[in-house]
Amino acid sequence: MPRIVKHPQERRKELLDAARDLFFERGYEATTVNDIIARAGMSKGGFYHHFASKEDVLEALAEAMARESLAQLQAILDEPGLDALTRLNAFLSRARRLKVEQAPAIRAMFYVIFRPGNLVLYHRLNAAVGAVTLPALARIIAQGQEEGIFDVPDVQAVAEIILTLGASTHDAVARAVNAADTLEGEAAAAALDERLRMHGIALDRILGLPDGSIRFVENGFAKALMMPAQAP
């Protein structure tokens, strides 16, 4: 085969893109390094020149995805003049909107991520998202504490708790995703909405707010996310 040389950054990106597509298409363990290099049009040696291991690719991928996600929400974090609760609700609202806009991709991602053989994928993504979100969340909580709106015993600890609390919704999401194509799709989506509402109340209480202060869902969010778009 002819040797093709490109800028390292470009090659790296091509490999990452190929890996991303394959991971979310076939699953992480089901994707082999040979699959990745085949799609990226590269050799084994080239691959291991850019990455130390298959998991190294995943790590880089997760970090990049997490950073890109947060970047789309950064404006809300920096926006002056918002009190902490308004900021948090705006943050959550925008996050939901972005998800709905990317619904098909998000759906595919959820669909594959909770299947066997994808634990590492799930864990790495979760950890990467957590790592970039933690400081942002901690800042909001600290602001709320200063403003006297929130009432928490320890900002850092509560930030961590709230973050990992998000994982408690994942089981419910998995259930909804797996039921989405069945007849009970609507019911599953409604159940997820309700479950997310409960999650919101848990957040309220941990932050010392009245129930319902945080809008973690809006009606029909789960349905908009999970159900394939219907022709009008």
Partner DNA sequence: CTTGACGACCGACCGACGGTCTGTAATATG
Partner DNA sequence: CATATTACAGACCGTCGGTCGGTCGTCAAG
Question: Smallest distance, Å, CB 160 to its own copies?
Answer: 6
Assess 198 for contact with its own copies (CB under 8 A).
Answer: yes
The size of the interface with its own copies (CB under 8 A), counted in residues, is 26
Q: Which is nearer to DNA, 5 or 229 (CB)?
A: 5
Sign of CA dihedral 219, 222, 224, 225: positive
Q: What are phi and psi of 4, to 5 degrees?
A: -115, 125
Site for its own copies in 79-108 (CB under 8 A): none
Assess 194 for contact with its own copies (CB under 8 A).
Answer: yes
Question: Smallest distance, Å, CB 195 to its own copies?
Answer: 6
Q: How far apart are CA 43 and CA 47, in angstroms?
A: 6
Question: Smallest distance, Å, CB 49 to DNA?
Answer: 4
Assess 163 for contact with its own copies (CB under 8 A).
Answer: yes
27-36 contacts, C-beta under 8 A, 24 or more apart: 27/112, 27/115, 27/117, 27/118, 27/121, 28/58, 28/117, 28/118, 28/120, 28/121, 29/117, 29/118, 29/120, 30/117
| Residues binding its own copies (CB under 8 A) | 119-120, 123, 153-154, 157-158, 160-161, 163-165, 167-168, 171-172, 194-195, 198-199, 201-202, 205-206, 208, 211
